[in-house]
Amino acid sequence: MFGRMILASTLFAAVPASAQWFKIATPGTPRTPDGRPNLTAPTPRGPDGKPILNGIWQMNGKYLQNIASDLKPGEVPYQPWEEQLFNSRQNGAGGRQDPAAKCIPGMPKLDALPYPFKIIESPGMVMMLFEGFTTFRQIFTDGRELPKDPNPTWFGYSVGKWEGDDWVVNTTGIKESTWLDNAGRGHSDALHLIERFQRHDFGHMDILLTLDDPKAYTKPWTVKEDVRLIPDTELLEYICVENEKDYEHLIGK
Amino acid sequence: MHSLRMIAAAVFLTCTASAQWLTNKTPNVPRNADGKPNLTAPAPKMADGKPDLSGIWNPNPKYLVNLAADLKPGDVPMQPWAEAVFKERSAGLHAHEEPDANCLPQGVPKIDTAPVPWKLVQVPGQVVILYEAFTQFRQIFMDGRKLPEDPNPIWLGYSIGHWDGDTLVVESNGFNGKAWLDQQGHPTTEKLRVTEKYRRKDFGHMEIEITIDDPGAYTKPWTATETPTLLVDTELLEFICAENEQDIKHMVTRK
């Protein structure tokens, strides 16, 4: 599936660009004298002094393939059953177990898809609009608490708050069948995701992702995912179930 | 599928409501002395004086069944081929071909009428509509850009908006011609242009005047008006169509 996604993305990029507002100059973008976006300009800040995270962003694709790609062997603190499950999914075995193979998006892989996502801050709620699956997350910033006994969903329930210059998003209630990455790491219903958004300059952001899931991992573990700003463009439409041809080629049950 | 969807929605609503923030109080809602929302209070304004259309809106499902529900016979001037397609579809012979029965997007304006709510959010330079239906979104650009002249056809099209007095006028093009306008099956082509005029009449009531301009299927533009109502103290649920879809096999298939 993801091979097709990347191929599709390439094909889309080759068709009439102007039609998709690809060349719209994103307002508020600092530029060098030649008109190019200055991606190392300072982080923009709002009247409250906090970083503004708005923009179209794209994650380094390696984390979709392997969320632990920056970690050393042995640094992922698997519980034995989770390690066994992960091992059973190696080399594509179990590809059909990944809900995304059936066009069902889910967290935390949604953030790591190889397509852009757009962050839009609004009063009391921050939207993340995803080109992948043409879907969205709502992250509530109105002070509400996470639900105590959530009905499990594919995206979970998310609340965000500022800690200094870090925007910290806590998410629970994620269905246990979602995968952490294409390599096949899983989680349990106890997963508590902590995403720490750190915009370092105009064009660069890190998301520190902490996975706190005592049923599947012996202790919380953290990965740092790098995200870059994609200026002067817009999200495309991406409908997974349209002409889906990959599932039949995947293996596993 | 749609009846099942409604059942599914009803089932969702009955379970663990507190878990889904369904009882969170919506801020800035005028209320009566008993605490109930006053849905006939005046429509709110943004700081810049423009109407504030934001909120969670619930469509009137009769327009999902038939966008022309309030129109007289003959008010929808179909091309002969479109009329023939419409007759077959409205007889139920092609229900399995309806795009959203196959988890494909409803298209515009049908997505406005899917029997689950949507949330309108106004931010600088654009309006975003978050649809509970299939957890999809639309972006409506208010930054002065023009509609694309040679758009790559897509399901939800390209949308720009501007204010005409207190009315948000949204114009859209670039549709792929595969969407049905309603369950009865009014067809569309790639020539479709949709104009939606959103007017918040009071705190709890919206009117959307929808003009269908599709010379590929209709001999002249025609207009219908939808009437969503505000939902307060609740939140959108997650709706993933591809999950455990069980309806299509029960739908009529014409051999």
Mean pLDDT of A116-125: 97
Does B129 have pLDDT greater than 90?
A: yes
Chain A hits for B130, CB-CB cut-off 8 Å, are 127, 136, 138
Q: Where residue A94 falls among pLDDT bands split at 50, 70, 90?
A: confident
Q: Do A147 and B238 touch (CB under 8 A)?
A: no
Q: Where residue A244 falls among pLDDT bands split at 50, 70, 90?
A: confident
Q: Where residue B248 falls among pLDDT bands split at 50, 70, 90?
A: low
Nearest to A154 among B128, B154, B240 (CB): B240
Torsion of CA A153, A155, A156, A162, to 10 degrees: -170
Phi, psi of A122 (to 5 degrees): -135, 165
In chain A, whose CA is at the least distance from the CA of B235? A138
Each residue of B171-217: pLDDT tens digit? 999 999 999 999 999 999 999 999 999 999 999 999 999 999 999 99
Nearest to A19 among B27, B134, B148 (CB): B148
Q: Which of A53, A71, A54, A52 minimizes the C-alpha distance to A62?
A: A71
Phi-psi category of residue B187: left, alpha or beta, with phi > 0 → left and psi -120 to 50 → alpha: beta
Quote the pLDDT of residue B3.
41
The proportion of chain A whose per-residue pLDDT surpasses 90, expressed as a percent, equals 78
Mean pLDDT of B79-93: 95
Taking one residue from A and the other from B, the number of pairs with CB-CB distance under 8 angstroms is: 111
What ipTM did this prediction achieve? 0.90
Encode B37-72: b = buried (16+ Cβ within 10 Å), e = exposed. bebeeebbeeeeeebbbbbbbbbeeebbebbbeeee
In chain A, whose CA is at the least distance from the CA of B137? A135
Question: 3-class DSSP state for residue B13?
Answer: helix
Each residue of A149-164: pLDDT tens digit? 889 999 999 999 999 9
Mean pLDDT of B88-111: 93
Q: Do A237 and B155 touch (CB under 8 A)?
A: yes
Instruction: Please state the pTM of the whole predicted model.
Output: 0.91
Mean pLDDT rounded to a whole number for chain A = 90
Euclidean distance between CA atoms A89 and A251, whole angstroms: 10
Quote the pLDDT of residue A234.
94
Quote the pLDDT of residue A96.
84
Mean pLDDT of B72-84: 95
Chain B hits for A127, CB-CB cut-off 8 Å, are 121, 128, 130, 137
